Structures are given as structure tokens and as C-alpha cells.
Structure 1
Amino acid sequence: MSTPSALHIVCPHCHTTNRVQAGDQAKASDCGQCHRPLFEGEPLELDAGSFDKHLARNQIALVVDFWAPWCGPCLQMAPFFHEAAIALEPQARLAKLDTEAQPQIAARYGIRSIPTMIVFKGGQEVARTSGAMATEGITRWIRSVL
């Protein structure tokens, strides 16, 4: 299977789909609509609308941390997930979804324990893991499924 010459990348700010030359996503690409960077090395906060758009339109892996604000392990893992975003962008978009604020999406994916991370490719779940991890564990796990 050949690599596409251009990839669709959804802007983390305005959620517009951008066409970026393959290989160029590592460069300082900006959104054609809002002109802000497509990659800033930090997890994206998703809601119901932005979750579905990023899932359906991004042609890079989407890694979602399903968490809740009352969850101690989730809060402990948050800075490590942020560090993983720095290490893994632009090969993957790391995002967080608050299961308390978005219970319908958590239910759609059968989230029963948090934190749970799911890797999506082409809109489909390809891997999941539950439990808090440090940066090295997060990056190693994600790279193993990319």
C-alpha cells in the first residue's frame, strides 16, 4: 500500500480539515482557516462534536485518554500524557475526553475504568489499554501500535 501524497489533518483550534503534504506535517504547518499551528505538542481537549470530527477526518492516529476530573490516577497521568504528546506529534494526535462531561462517547466505547487510552486509525479502534502509565510507557505502547 502506498503512502498518500497528502494527509488530512484536523486543526486542534477551529477543527477545520487541512490538507498537508505527507512528510510536511512535521514542519510548522498552520491551519488554512485560523492560521494557528496544527501541532503544538499538547493534548487536545475533545467534546462530542470535535471528537467525531477528529475521529472521522484525521489521517494520522488519534490517541484518546478517557479520564474524569475526580480520578486520582487520571490526574497523576495527565503530565505524562502531555509529555507523550510532545514526543509523538505529528505522527499521532493525542487528545483527552472527560467521561463525566461526555458520557455518551464513553458509553459508545464501553469505557468501564479510567484512565483508558484508545488508539484509533482510520476512524477505527486498533488498540486500548487501561491504567495510569508514565511517559515512557505511554510512548512505548503507542509506538508499538503505530
Structure 2
Amino acid sequence: MTTAESIHVVCPHCHTTNRVRTDQLGAAPDCGHCHRPLFADHSVALDTASFDKHLARSQLPLLVDFWAPWCGPCRQMAPGFEQAAAQLEPGMRLAKVDTEAVPALAARYGIRSIPTLILFKGGREVARQAGAMGAADIVRWARGAG
């Protein structure tokens, strides 16, 4: 009998790191700490501390939408980003960072225009795309860049 490989997944609710067998990712696993679903088919809002935890501890690729509430194209893209989350989870975590509420993260990554999508793998930026996109384009870009 072979042992299934497991990966670390950070809970989108309590930000506790969980070990999940890869063959169980699609079986709606719950967090061992708060017992809420690890995947809910929508993005998670992150502040600096939770962003750093997801980036450093989760072994899932992290797709982040850097946005602001006053930004028309950001608001226009928001429903598509949520639709993309439903298609890309559990293979990827989708997150949103409000650049008004968390300006330090926007500065850290040199965000010059919003919305900007950044895909991280292994804690490092692997791709970046500025400008609003629809759900299908987000999914296509994320899968192609990842």
C-alpha cells in the first residue's frame, strides 16, 4: 500500500496551517482547528499577517488580486474573480488585498496600477498581470502562468 502525499494548506478562516492529503483536496476537507471548510469556492481577504502566512506556509499557488474599493475596473472584475475562484480551487488559493486598507503590501510588491493580479508559487512571484479581466481570462492566465 502506498502512502498518499500531503501538502500544507492555510485555512482561509482562522489561518491555521493544515496538512491535507493531495488525494483529499477535492473532497471538501475541513480545518483541523476551526472545523470550517478549507475551500469555499471564493476568494479570501488578506491583511499583512494573513498574507504572509498564506505565502510562507501554504503549498498551494496563491493568486492575489490587488484592488481598491474606489477603483471602477476593480469592482467590475470582482464577480469574475469570484467565478475564477470556484473554478481554480482547490488547486490554487485566490485572495484579495485591499491596497487602501493594506498599503504596505502594495508598496512591497510595487503595485503601480490596480487591479493587478500576482501569482505566487513556493512563496515567490511567478507572474503578474495588470488590468481587469473576466473569469475565463483569469482562469486561462492563472493556469498558463502556474
Same fold flag (TM > 0.5): yes
Counterpart for residue 97 of structure 2: 97
2:89 counterpart of 1:74: no
**3-state DSSP class of the match of 1:84?**
helix
1:39 pairs with 2:24: no
Q: CA deviation at 1:26?
A: 1.1
Structure 1 residue 23 displacement after superposition? 2.3
* Worse-superposed segment, 34-43 or 18-27: 18-27
1:2-81 equivalence runs, <5 A:
5-81=5-81
Q: Which TM-score applies when normalising by structure 2?
A: 0.96
| Residues 87-115 of structure 1: per-residue CA shift (max 9 Å, x gap) | 00001000000001111110000000000
What is the RMSD computed on CA atoms of the aligned residues? 0.8
**3-state SS of 1:39 partner:** coil
Equivalents in 1 of 2:141, 2:27: separation in Å? 25
Q: Which runs of 5+ in 2 are unaligned?
A: none
Distance across 1 between alignment mates of 2:126 and 2:89: 18
Rounded to whole Å, the distance in 1 between the matches of 2:23 and 2:99 is 34
Scaled by the length of structure 1, the TM-score of the pair is 0.96
- Structure 1 consecutive aligned stretches of length 4 or more whose deviation exceeds 6 Å: none
User: Offset at 1:28?
Assistant: 1.2
Quote how far apart the aligned CAs of 1:71 are.
Answer: 0.2
Q: Distance in 1 between matches of 2:106 and 2:97?
A: 8
Q: How many corresponding residue pairs? A: 143
CA distance in 1, matches of 2:77, 2:37: 25
- For structure 1, the residue ranges without an aligned partner over 5 or more in a row are none
Partners in 2 of 1:47 and 1:28 — Cα distance?
25
Kindly provide the amino acid, as one letter, of the partner of residue 129 in structure 2: T
Question: CA–CA distance in 1 between the matches of 2:74 and 2:94?
Answer: 15
